[in-house]
Amino acid sequence: MMHCLYLTLVLVLLAPPVWACSCPDIPLADKVKAASFIFQGTVVYPRPDMPPEQTSFRIDAHLKGRDGASANILRLSVHSPPACAATFELGKTYLVLAEGTYESGYTTDACHSFPAQITDDPRALEVRDLRLKTGQSILHGNQIEVPQSRLTLEKIRTQAKTFYLLDDNELALRLYVTAAARSHNSPVDLLGQGHAYLRLMMADLALQRFDDVLEKDSQRAQAWSGRYQALALLGRWSEIPEKANLSGLWLRYARIPVVPVAADFSTVWWREIDAAGLHFKDVSFRGATLSDVNFSKSNLENVDFTEAVLHRVDFSGAKLSGVKLPSNLNTIIWDETTQWPKGFDPAILAISRPSQAK
């Protein structure tokens, strides 16, 4: 399971610029070489203890730089001039090239931070090329565009994993298909295809790949987890057993009809999910990112929200018993749009919980 880091970005509050940012004409390879820390991350809402000028990133993929990687919080300052100050939107994913060190702090600007999704933003046009070249340069020591025919099987697999972490799932899938042809459908490469299909929301094909893996190795836990995630995407929740590992599940615009007891939903990413009126028993949402999720009138029994990110989550009318929140509120994030049950104060629960355990 990939462990997510959280990065705190210190924004410089500036008046709206009256001129456009003019980025210097620096070759892409030089940008990658000069950056000391490159990551792809998703903007999450600031914690209640943060001043308004700070923004948090969940780091989804480390591409370059490892100093301070074991820390939970990293600070990144925005460069001036004002016209080139970086701006970020809640819930959006960005590719960031930063300079500095963990000890001294990192810096970036609008010329070195890009939307991860291709948009009409002119700066986004080079994102795909940047992601490809960044991954290639890391794998091959700045040798760009190495033909696959000259790569070993392990190199192809490493490329596939890198682009999967970069959320370039189509390219990752093609590489895993190439690897599978080389390896005569090794479970490793079929498993990679299944995970790429999941990210592409092609659940039926993902299910086929995970079943192919389980025919070869019925004890492979990752294949079972992938199979359960594919079933969830297909809406076949009744086929998912108790204690199923659904960690990391990406789920959007769905209604959940039933919840497996003791299911592992740690590090899931859910957006616009209707989970109203359900019974969540002994379920873990540890490290999850939940946005526009409806838990209203649900029974949440012994549910773990440790280190979860909650945005526009509706708990109104829900019954919360034995809910696990951290004693230190710095490790959980929610905002004023999250609706708690009437009379429920998460801060009081988090502070009082350790004494209740004595």
Sign of CA dihedral 13, 16, 19, 22: positive
The count of other CB atoms within 10 Å of the CB of residue 332 is 19
Helix (H, G, I), strand (E, B) or coil at 178: helix
Residue where a domain terminates, one of 84, 110, 133: 133
Q: Which of 261, 225, 196 is nearest to 1 (CA)?
A: 225
- The span from the CA of 194 to the CA of 173, in Å, is 9
CA angle 232, 236, 239 (to 5 degrees): 100
The DSSP output letter for 45 is P
Which pLDDT score, from 0 to 100, does residue 114 have?
78
Q: What's the start-to-end Cα distance of the chain, in Å?
A: 32
Reply yes or no on whether the pLDDT at 157 is more than 50.
yes
Q: Which of 233, 210, 230 is nearest to 222 (CA)?
A: 210
- The span from the CA of 101 to the CA of 109, in Å, is 16
Cα-based torsion angle of the residue sequence 108, 120, 5, 331 in order, rounded to the nearest 10 degrees: 100
In a domain, 303, yes or no: yes
In a domain, 38, yes or no: yes
Same domain, 115 and 151: no
pLDDT digits (tens, 9 = 90+) for 174-201: 899 999 999 999 999 999 999 999 988 8
Same domain, 353 and 273: yes
In a domain, 142, yes or no: no
Hey, what are 90's tokens?
A: 């809640």
Helix/strand/coil percent split, the chain, to 5? 35, 25, 40
CATH of the domain at 45: 2.40.50
Does a cis peptide bond (omega within 30 degrees of 0) precede residue 81? yes
Residue where a domain terminates, one of 182, 202, 234: 234
In a domain, 138, yes or no: no
Same domain, 15 and 94: yes
Same domain, 220 and 178: yes
Of 138-152, 159-173, 312-326, 342-356, highest mean pLDDT: 312-326
User: Measured between alpha carbons, how far is residue 153 from residues 34, 127, 149, 172 in Å?
Assistant: 30, 27, 10, 14
Hey, what are 110's tokens?
A: 């609008």
Same domain, 219 and 125: no
Q: Which of 190, 185, 186, 225 is nearest to 208 (CA)?
A: 190
**Tokens 């192809």 sit on residue:** 156
How much is the average pLDDT of 232-251?
Answer: 95
Hey, what are 208's tokens?
A: 């086929």
In a domain, 262, yes or no: yes
Same domain, 340 and 228: no
Hey, what are 177's tokens?
A: 């298909």
Which pLDDT score, from 0 to 100, does residue 32 have?
75
Of the chain, the percentage scoring pLDDT greater than 70 comes to 67
Same domain, 32 and 72: yes
Same domain, 261 and 341: yes
- The span from the CA of 78 to the CA of 17, in Å, is 15
Burial of 68 (0-12, 13-18, 19+ CB in 10 A): middle
Same domain, 340 and 271: yes
Q: How confident is the model at residue 14 (pLDDT cuts 50, 70, 90)?
A: very low
307 Rama sector, left if φ>0, alpha if ψ -120 to 50, beta otherwise: left
- Residue 72 and residue 59 in contact, taking contact as beta carbons nearer than 8 Å: no
User: Measured between alpha carbons, how far is residue 216 from residues 187, 190, 204, 212 in Å?
Assistant: 7, 10, 19, 7
Residue type at 107 in one-letter notation: T
In a domain, 103, yes or no: yes
CATH of the domain at 190: 1.25.40.10
In the structure, how many helices (H) and strands (E) does the chain have? 8, 15
Domain that holds residue 166: 147-234
In a domain, 140, yes or no: no
In a domain, 239, yes or no: no
- The span from the CA of 256 to the CA of 274, in Å, is 6
Give the distance, in angstroms, between the CA of residue 124 and the centroid of all CA atoms in the same chain. Answer: 20
Which pLDDT score, from 0 to 100, does residue 77 have?
58
Same domain, 274 and 161: no
Reply yes or no on whether the pLDDT at 229 is more than 50.
yes
Domain count within the chain: 3
Q: Which of 308, 307, 322 is nearest to 357 (CA)?
A: 322
Reply yes or no on whether the pLDDT at 335 is more than 70.
no
Residue where a domain terminates, one of 234, 260, 276: 234
Same domain, 116 and 34: yes
- The span from the CA of 294 to the CA of 183, in Å, is 44
- Residue 288 and residue 306 in contact, taking contact as beta carbons nearer than 8 Å: no
Low-confidence winner among 27-31, 208-212, 234-238, 281-285 (lowest mean pLDDT)? 27-31
Q: Going by C-beta distance under 8 Å and a sequence separation of 6 or more, which residues neighbour residue 305?
A: 285, 286, 288, 323, 324, 325, 332
Same domain, 71 and 23: yes
